[in-house]
Amino acid sequence: MNLIRVKEIIRKALNEDIGAEDLTTEALVPVDHRSSAVLLAKQPGVIAGLPVVDLVFKELDPACQLTRLKPEGAEVTKGTIVARITGPTRAILTGERVALNLLQRMSGIATITRELVKKLDGLSCRVLDTRKTTPGLRVLEKYAVRVGGGTNHRFGLSHGVMLKDNHIAMAGSLAKAVSLVRERVGHMVQIEVEADTLEQVREALSLDVDAILLDNMDLDTLRAAVKLIDGRVWTEASGGITPETVRSIAETGVNGVSLGWLTHSVQALDISLDFEMETGDQ
- Catalytic hit among 22, 96, 215, 236: 215
Q: For residue 50, how many C-alpha atoms fall within 13 Å in the half-sphere facing its CB?
A: 22
User: Using a CB cutoff of 8 Å and minimum separation of 24, what contacts does 66-72 make?
Assistant: 72/47, 72/48, 72/147
Where does residue 2 rank: exposed (0-12), middle (13-18), buried (19+ CB within 10 A)? Answer: exposed
For residues 140 and 72, give the distance between their C-alpha atoms in angstroms, rounded to a whole number. 14
- Catalytic hit among 70, 119, 132, 182: 132
What does the DSSP assignment read for 223-252?
Answer: HHHHHHHTTSSEEEEESS--TTTHHHHHTT
For residues 45 and 30, give the distance between their C-alpha atoms in angstroms, rounded to a whole number. 36
- Catalytic hit among 5, 11, 42, 164: 164
- Catalytic hit among 22, 141, 194, 236: 194
- For the question of residue 90 being annotated catalytic, the response is no
Element (DSSP H or E) covering residue 83:
strand 81-88
- For the question of residue 196 being annotated catalytic, the response is no
Query: Strands 191-195, 161-163: parallel, antiparallel or unpaired by DSSP?
Result: parallel
Which 3 state secondary structure label does DSSP give 130?
A: coil
- For the question of residue 278 being annotated catalytic, the response is no
- For the question of residue 194 being annotated catalytic, the response is yes
- Catalytic hit among 7, 68, 70, 97: 97
Q: Which residues contact 74 (CB under 8 A, 6 or more apart)?
A: 46, 47, 82
217 neighbors 237 (Cβ within 8 angstroms): yes
- For the question of residue 97 being annotated catalytic, the response is yes
2 neighbors 139 (Cβ within 8 angstroms): yes
Catalytic positions, written as ranges: 97, 132, 164, 194, 215
